[in-house]
Amino acid sequence: MATDSPGTEVDFANLSGPVLVLGGAGYIGSHTVRALERLGIPVVVLDNFSTGHPEAVNVPLVEASLADRETLARTFDEWEPRAVMHFAARCYVGESVEDPSIYYRENVIHAWNLLEAMREAGCQELIFSSTCATYGNPVALPITEENPQVPVNPYGRTKLHMEHMMEDYAQAYGLRFAALRYFNAAGASQEGDLGEDHSPETHLIPLLMQVALGQRDEIAIFGGDYPTPDGTCIRDYVHVEDLADAHLRALSRLQAGVHTLACNLGTGLGYSVREVIEAVRRITRHPIPERMTGRRAGDPPELVSGGSRALEHLGWRPARSALEKILSDAWRFHEAHPKGYSR
């Protein structure tokens, strides 16, 4: 993908809205909405609450799905957004293997609805939530943006489809976009009021928090025979507020004239499942019983971000992503919201 290289200076003062945030009631979306609000940028959220939470949003809200092209067009007419951030998508590898139809519908067809609505409205700035899953089985570790994008599951494939659609729309219609390839989003807001609340929960860190709260008896470790130092999978955990900060920086670059951007958002540091469990024991002072089970289908042994493209292009450093910080912020949220936002 052709990528501009404008240097590292990012000036939040040039940021302007309104910004339409699709999926702004979800985990990463809600933290990004808050970061936009802090800068005084007008925001409108469109969300159908399939996985998001109304309690997580405090800005004008359109309750709709991206399947609803009429409401989408009306939202562009009414709010005249200068830019769009697109968080509204399905994001589970296992589910995507079992039921790819949902992933092609929601992550590709609905994303195309968005591109068309933007084209009709003349809106040209788009920040897209992509993923390290677009790389598939990496040819080298850590994973830089030069790694070939050969996803190995429908989730990764649908996200890569959107990257390709954006490239083609950029070429043909002048769309300007940033594809931000997240590694493992984790943590919670500094205020302790926004955090991870999925139902059912499948992610390691919130599941560990549920064990610490006594809501689960134990954590299952999905495989202890991987070719890693302790046999468990290694992941690169990045604080959700660092991800939010990267979105502001990407928007600022687009608004400063950059055409296309694609970069990894990870820390470059990997932690094994066992290391995460040990750290949760220290922070929560709970013994966290564990049980070794078989591997989960589709889990690569190690996913760690490499390179410095986010630093070079966005001036981004993951300032809050030390593992202890991620876990203590997550713990504060889960202790204060033992049943999630509303349940």
Chain residues that interact with ligand UDP, rule: CB under 6 A? 93, 184, 202-204, 207, 219-222, 233, 235, 273, 296, 299
Which listed residue (155, 169, 182, 226) is catalytic?
A: 155
**Cα distance between residue 223 and residue 212, in whole Å:** 21
One-character DSSP codes across 50-72? SS--GGG--S-EEE--TT-HHHH
Beta strands 176-182 and 260-265, pairing class: parallel
Tell me, rounded to whole angstroms, the distance of Cα 299 from its chain centroid.
18
Nearest alpha-carbon partner for 236 in 310, 339, 150, 178: 310
Answer for the pair 20, 84: CB distance below 8 angstroms, yes or no: yes
Least distance to ligand UDP, CB of residue 113, Å: 26
Report the b/e string of 183-207 with b at 16+ CB within 10 A.
bbbbbbbeeebbbbbeeebebbbbb
**Helix (H), strand (E), coil (C) string for 219-268:** EEEECCCCCCCCCCCEECEEEHHHHHHHHHHHHHHHHCCCCEEEEEECCC
Q: Which is nearer to ligand UDP, 73 or 220 (CB)?
A: 220
**Cα distance between residue 185 and residue 29, in whole Å:** 12
Q: Which is nearer to ligand UDP, 126 or 209 (CB)?
A: 209
**Cα distance between residue 145 and residue 305, in whole Å:** 9
182 is catalytic: no
Least distance to ligand UDP, CB of residue 283, Å: 17
Q: Which is nearer to ligand UDP, 84 or 188 (CB)?
A: 188
Helix, strand, coil % over all residues of the chain, rounded to 5: 40, 15, 40
Least distance to ligand UDP, CB of residue 281, Å: 15
**Cα distance between residue 127 and residue 1, in whole Å:** 16
Least distance to ligand UDP, CB of residue 242, Å: 16
Least distance to ligand UDP, CB of residue 226, Å: 8
Token code pair at residue 133: 């899953």
Q: Which is nearer to ligand UDP, 5 or 293 (CB)?
A: 293
Least distance to ligand UDP, CB of residue 180, Å: 15
Q: Which is nearer to ligand UDP, 63 or 218 (CB)?
A: 218
Token code pair at residue 23: 């999926």
Place of tokens 């593992």: 323
Q: Which residue is nearest to ligand UDP (CB)?
A: 233
Least distance to ligand UDP, CB of residue 214, Å: 17
Q: Which is nearer to ligand UDP, 69 or 198 (CB)?
A: 198
Q: Which is nearer to ligand UDP, 207 or 238 (CB)?
A: 207
Residue 291: strand, helix, or coil = strand
Give the catalytic positions in this structure: 155
